[in-house]
Amino acid sequence: MDSSYFAVQRRALEIAGFDPSTPQLNLQHPIWAGILMLSLVSHNWPMAFYALQDLSNITRLTDNLAVSLQGVQSTFKFLIIVLKRRRIGSLIHRLHKLNEAASATPKHLEKIERENQLDRYVSRSFRNAAYGVVCASALAPMLLGLWEYVETGVFTPTTPVDFNFWLDERKAQFYWPIYAWGVLGVAAAAWWAIATDTLFSWLIHNVVAQYQLLELALEEKDQQNGADCRLVECVRRHRIALDLAKELSAIFAEIVFVKYMLSYLQLCMLAFRFSRSGWSAQLPFRATFLLAIIIQISSYCYGGEYLKQQSLGIAHAVYGNSNWPKMAPRQRRLWQMVIMRAQRPARIFGFMFDVDLSLLLWVIRTAGSFLALLRTFERSPT
């Protein structure tokens, strides 16, 4: 494996305070994790209260609630990782061992490297989008303030996000600590999202790699002089892949449920904000934030669909790589049982729905419906 193998996920987990080198995924820096949590919560709830103070101001309501919902998701993700860190660490190291054992064969190594390359495309895209959100939240208020200073000679302090803080940010002695604390809060939400979502992508692609290794084993089974000595090995590999997919679904069930119950609200609120004219220091932040949300929900749905289709492909691989006319009736029945089991696909289940491309379509349609509802409220006379 090259140096980029598991690199994005390892770095993200380390920044979040975890130690990915241990099977228990120990929380190595609890104080740092507590600081990140405090910075996120101390801005998330003031933003929510600020949004709800004046329900007639739909722009302010949607602006702040969209960010607050992401803060809720990031906090929830962190809690789930802490509670399930042993299961997550065990799954990671189990996949590491399987990949290491399979890498001794060139064909198997090629499959593993291909899946990890696909993961890097997804993980790096989301990581860069999330870091873009942090940079926009940090730079946009400064650049706008400097522009106003050049135009009017007065520097107007603005914070990365709008909220009612317990200190007056208009005073110089309070502005810079609030500004730095606000950027840290945005960064905390981004780091936890990167750690969780890129880890999901890596797990999905490496579980898919186990199904692809099974397909290679099925292609090789008829090379054993027509004997059925590979049946036990193929069933074992299929069992491993099914168990890995089931454990992955169980670990992320709560996360994907909360994510997709809130994601359509985020999308419609952010889309509503961009349907309004006007410029503010938060606009670059909202633009990068919208891009990150789209990549985030798309990567989960793509991963779930990819796993489902790959698991269904095992049935076709068994059928296509078997010499049915020359096979003994007993062997034929055994392989038919493998086909029947493979016809029930592996899936990522979020309690009420499967995470696949149809879910992405549902999110987009629901977000569009809520966007139309918000535009109706905006046009209604007060």
DSSP state of 162: -
Which pLDDT score is estimated for 178?
A: 79
Asked if the structure places residue 91 within a domain, the reply is yes
- Six-digit token string for 100: 């290491």
CA of 18: how far to CAs of 141, 184, 192, 314, in Å?
A: 32, 18, 11, 36
Count: domains in the chain: 1
In a domain, 261, yes or no: yes
How much is the mean pLDDT over the chain? 84
Which range is most confident: 67-71, 319-323, 345-349, 366-370?
345-349
8 A C-beta contact, residue 70 and residue 266: yes
pTM of the model: 0.89
In a domain, 171, yes or no: yes
pLDDT (0 to 100) of residue 210: 94
Secondary structure in 3-state letters for 276-305? CCCCCCCHHHHHHHHHHHHHHHHHHHHHHH
pLDDT of residue 280: 58
Q: Which residues pair with 349 in a beta bridge?
A: 354
Task: Using the predicted structure, report yes or no on whether residue 57 has a pLDDT greater than 80.
Answer: no
Question: Would the pLDDT of 72 be above 50?
Answer: yes
Helices (H) and strands (E) in the chain, counts: 10, 0
The reported pLDDT for the residue numbered 169 is 65
Residue 2 lies in a domain: no
What is the spatial distance between Cα 18 and Cα 51, in angstroms, rounded to a whole number?
Answer: 33
* Full residue range of the structural domain in which residue 211 is found: 7-379
Give me the half-sphere count of Cα atoms (radius 13 Å) on the Cβ side of residue 214: 29
pLDDT band (50, 70, 90) for residue 224: very low
4-32 tens-digit pLDDT: 889 999 999 999 999 998 888 998 889 99
The answer, yes or no, to whether residue 227 has pLDDT greater than 60, is no
Averaged pLDDT for residues 47-72: 75
Dihedral in degrees, nearest 10, Cα atoms 363, 246, 248, 256: 20
Q: Give 145-157 pLDDT, tens digit per residue.
A: 777 778 787 777 6
Mean pLDDT of 85-95: 94
What is residue 170's predicted lDDT score, i.e. its pLDDT? 66
Instruction: Judge whether 170 and 157 are in contact, CB under 8 Å.
Output: yes
Q: Whole-angstrom Cα distance, residue 133 to residue 289?
A: 6
Per-residue pLDDT, 97 = 94
Mean pLDDT in residue range 274-299: 77
- Confidence band, pLDDT 50/70/90 cuts, at residue 274: confident
Longest Cα–Cα distance of the chain, Å, equals 90
In this prediction, residue 2 has a pLDDT band, given cuts at 50, 70 and 90, of confident
Alpha carbon separation from 92 to 73, 80, 86, 126, 348 (Å, rounded): 23, 16, 10, 20, 17
- Give whichever of 22-26, 216-220, 270-274, 283-287 has the largest mean pLDDT: 22-26
Confidence of residue 369 (pLDDT cuts 50, 70, 90): confident
Q: Which pLDDT value is given to residue 226?
A: 47
- Identify the band that residue 267 occupies on the pLDDT scale cut at 50, 70 and 90: confident
Q: Is residue 1 part of a domain?
A: no
